[in-house]
Amino acid sequence: EAAVTQSPRSKVAVTGGKVTLSCHQTNNHDYMYWYRQDTGHGLRLIHYSYVADSTEKGDIPDGYKASRPSQENFSLILELASLSQTAVYFCASSGTGTVNERLFFGHGTKLSVL
């Protein structure tokens, strides 16, 4: 079974602080994604990557950076965390990125910015 592991599972951050969320996959997948989940908004794509050392902007990239140092690892970075970034963040991976490709999600990171 494909595996996507996120860390930490939850985090409390202070406004203006730096936050790094990590994701590791053992699926040998090329594509990795960061989604944000808010009540009433479903899942929204922040950044994605299809190859190591390259990232692409999704639908809501403002206030976030991403890093893909290797095929297995994909990080989401909040340089200056804000209250509005309180949400649950999901990492996902897929094999080829084609439209009918199944996404494998991690368990999520609950981020609270105070």
Partner 1 sequence: QQQVRQSPQSLTVWEGETAILNCSYEDSTFNYFPWYQQFPGEGPALLISISSVSDKKEDGRFTIFFNKREKKLSLHITDSQPGDSATYFCAASPSSGSWQLIFGSGTQLTVMP
Footprint on this chain of partner 1 (rule: CB under 8 A): 4, 31, 40-45, 56, 58-59, 90, 92, 97-103, 105-108
DSSP the chain: ---EEEE-SEEEE-TT--EEEEEEE-S--SEEEEEEEETTTEEEEEEEEEETTEEEE-S--TT-EEE-SSSSEEEEEESS--GGG-EEEEEEEESS--TTPPPEE---EEEEE-
Given a contact cutoff of 8 angstroms between Cβ atoms, the answer to whether 22 and 110 are in contact is no
Q: How far is the CB of 59 from partner 1 (least distance, A)?
A: 8
Between residues 80 and 107, which has the closer beta carbon with respect to partner 1?
107
Q: How far is the CB of 16 from partner 1 (least distance, A)?
A: 29
Q: How far is the CB of 108 from partner 1 (least distance, A)?
A: 6
Between residues 56 and 72, which has the closer beta carbon with respect to partner 1?
56
Q: How far is the CB of 41 from partner 1 (least distance, A)?
A: 6
Between residues 14 and 33, which has the closer beta carbon with respect to partner 1?
33
